Structure 1
């Protein structure tokens, strides 16, 4: 009984660990989506700003305005690089959290398998015990039947 209780405790703790790992994974996935969204927004903004620069250059622009555009594009490029780095970090976090969740899930599956095997072994023991009792009862009935037949046959 104490083995079952200890195993039940392990299963419960592992289920909690699976749930925790799942929550951490979900949080990491949300952060990754946010980082991806931020990168997409910055890249879109850079494309729009580059188009604006091209149009302004076609219409003619002052050198100071060109320098400002280029400086701003440089700032956007830096922000895009930081966003890419952040996205890579978030992807690494998601991968790490997935591994943690999978490890906890494997543990839980192992415990569940152990419980299932124990239940099957117990069922097999019960079946054998029942078969043994049935065999003993049959043997006793045969002996009684033989004894009854012998006693009735000898009295005639």
Structure 2
């Protein structure tokens, strides 16, 4: 007899759960990376736009250009703030996904350990049974040999 069907089912379920969790963790890590890259792009764009404006301001700018710059920078800063929030959320989701994956791995490892122990016990019981059969067979042969000797004497 191999691993009990219920334990086998638990192992299969834990493996599937772990696989799903690993895939989800990969997706969450990818989302975090994308959010971080978008933030870096926005920060680089802000820096570039501010540098170009400062260069233009050296030559003098009028009031409308100044207001347009301020308005655009405020919108860009709002987008950066929103993207920072997205990065924070993505990081928190990835960390939660990592914890979920670790829990799935622990569960799978526990079921594997139980399965191995069950198989070891089953193997030991089988070996004891075989040894008992061998002992009985040897005893039976010895009995018959002794019986024949006694009859021959």
Per-residue deviation, 1:121: 0.7
**Residue number in structure 1 paired with 2:92:** 92
Alignment of 1:1-80 (within 5 A): 4-80=4-80
Report Cα offsets for 1:1-47 as digits up to 9, x if no partner.
8x822222222222332233223222222221221121011011011
Q: Could you say what secondary structure the match of 2:139 adopts? A: helix
**Residue number in structure 1 paired with 2:128:** 128
In 1: Cα distance, 2:15 partner to 2:125 partner: 29
Per-residue deviation, 1:106: 1.6
**How many residue pairs align between the two structures?**
152
In 2: Cα distance, 1:71 partner to 1:146 partner: 111
Per-residue deviation, 1:105: 2.1
In 2: Cα distance, 1:147 partner to 1:9 partner: 53
Q: More relative contact order in 1 or in 2 (CA 8 Å, sep 6+)? A: 2
Q: Which runs of 5+ in 1 are unaligned?
A: none
Q: Could you say what secondary structure the match of 2:24 adopts? A: helix
In 2: Cα distance, 1:22 partner to 1:80 partner: 30
In 2: Cα distance, 1:89 partner to 1:36 partner: 11
In 1: Cα distance, 2:89 partner to 2:107 partner: 27
In 1: Cα distance, 2:126 partner to 2:112 partner: 21
Q: Which runs of 5+ in 2 are unaligned?
A: none
Per-residue deviation, 1:143: 3.6
Q: TM-score, normalised by structure 2?
A: 0.85
**Residue number in structure 1 paired with 2:106:** 106
